[in-house]
Amino acid sequence: MKLGLALPQYDYSVAGEDPLTFPTVVRYAQAAEAAGFDSLWLSDHLFLDLAKYGGPAERYGCYEPIVTLAALARVVGRVRLGTLVLCEALRPAAVLAKALATLDRVSAGRVDVGIGAGWYEPDYEALGTAMPPPPERIERLREAVQVVTGLLGGGPFTFEGRFHRAVDAVNRPAAVQVPRPRVFVGGKGDRLLSLVAEHADGWNTCWTWTPDAYRERLRVLERACERVGRDPASVWRTLGLYALAGEDERDLARRFERLRASSPRGVLDGVDLEAFRTGRLVGTVEQVREQVAAWEALGVETLILGVGAVPFQAGALDDVELLAEAARA
């Protein structure tokens, strides 16, 4: 099993630090690399509020992912660098492919590309456009994935879609990875899983999942692969989960209370440790190892850990280190 870490990225990510400083992002990235994580991940929004998670409705600032990963490539030399996930609406697909190929060059071939259809309406409002209905967002994503994959290898590439186009486009210098960096799609709906089967290298979903619920989505993916004659095992599976480990039950309880105290207000109100376990990678070191084995048995190749209670929140550094020890043993 490969392990990834969702890095602190937002002004709520680290308690007492608003705005979040880049040296803090670097500190977590370097600690994760030293602890044995295989990859580091950033999301893609213009800003984010936590009302969906029971937290404040205020909009928190964040670091742009492609620029930030390029900067991190200079300070961490082993781990892979990924996007979880890029929002289709924020960049023309051909321009996105250019940026990603450059990032792959800067990082010496360590980029993994996640793209999604977009879900956060304020991102669209900030662009001065209405968020399209789900079917249109999926179709836009379908076209974007084809353009990005077509151009990451350098081109020339031509594509005539309803929303994205490229005409004899050449992307030089091309990405380092041959034939190109892997491109996965994030989400969970039936239409999206059909898109994965047809056009993507992999699939991701996050942040709370039980094995039974995940297994049901896998069956949908498998049927979609069968329709297009693809081996379902060829789909690279990554899964994001909130995670917390303790040396024993007493230590786990202590760490959970620390997380509760450091989380944005409202997020963990009325949530006890037993409830927090559901759908998350939570337990003693031995329990976490058993859970990781169960996910591996479902074909998950990479677990991306969110060490917090909301996306891209960063728990204490010793939480990061213990999770690496527990999940990799």
Distances (CA, A) of 275 to 23, 271, 297: 34, 6, 24
- DSSP for 258-270, written as a single string: HHHHHSPTTTTTT
pLDDT, average across residues 205-214: 98
* CA–CA dist 51, 35 (Å, integer): 33
Q: Name the residue among 292, 296, 294 with its Cα closest to residue 305.
A: 292
pLDDT at 247: 97
Which residues, other chains included, contact 317 with Cβ-Cβ below 8 Å and sequence gap of 6+? 27, 28, 31
Band (pLDDT 50/70/90 cuts) for residue 329 is low
Other beta carbons within 10 angstroms of residue 322's beta carbon come to 24
Decide yes or no: CATH 3.30.200.20 for domain 2-328. Answer: no
pLDDT, average across residues 279-284: 98
Label residue 168 left, alpha or beta by phi (over 0 means left) and psi (-120 to 50 means alpha).
left
Is the pLDDT at 230 greater than 80, yes or no? yes
At 288, give phi and psi (nearest 5°). Answer: -65, -40
R_g over Cα of the chain? 19
Is the pLDDT at 307 greater than 90, yes or no? yes
Which residues, other chains included, contact 178 with Cβ-Cβ below 8 Å and sequence gap of 6+? none
305 three-class SS? strand
Strands 2-6 and 39-42, sheet pairing: parallel
Band (pLDDT 50/70/90 cuts) for residue 78 is very high
* CA–CA dist 8, 214 (Å, integer): 26
- pLDDT tens figures, 243-265: 999 999 999 999 999 999 999 99
Task: Compute the half-sphere exposure of residue 82: CA atoms within 13 Å on the CB side of its CA.
Answer: 32
Query: Percent of the chain at pLDDT above 90?
Result: 99
Band (pLDDT 50/70/90 cuts) for residue 6 is very high
- pLDDT tens figures, 149-179: 999 999 999 999 999 999 999 999 999 999 9
pLDDT at 169: 96
Q: Name the residue among 283, 257, 253 with its Cα closest to residue 268.
A: 257
Q: Are 329 and 289 in contact (CB under 8 A)?
A: yes
Q: Where are the domains of the chain?
A: 2-328
- pLDDT tens figures, 128-152: 999 999 999 999 999 999 999 999 9
- Measured N-to-C along each axis, helices 190-199 and 134-152 cross at an angle, to the nearest 10 degrees, of 20
- Measured N-to-C along each axis, helices 285-297 and 317-328 cross at an angle, to the nearest 10 degrees, of 60
Q: Name the residue among 145, 155, 299, 328 with its Cα closest to residue 231.
A: 299
At 289, give phi and psi (nearest 5°). Answer: -60, -40
Query: Percent of the chain at pLDDT above 70?
Result: 100
- pLDDT tens figures, 40-72: 999 999 999 999 999 999 999 999 999 999 999
Band (pLDDT 50/70/90 cuts) for residue 328 is confident
pLDDT at 64: 98
pLDDT at 261: 96
Q: Are 169 and 155 in contact (CB under 8 A)?
A: yes
* CA–CA dist 53, 143 (Å, integer): 31
pLDDT, average across residues 261-287: 97
Q: Catalytic positions, please?
A: 45, 121
* CA–CA dist 59, 10 (Å, integer): 10
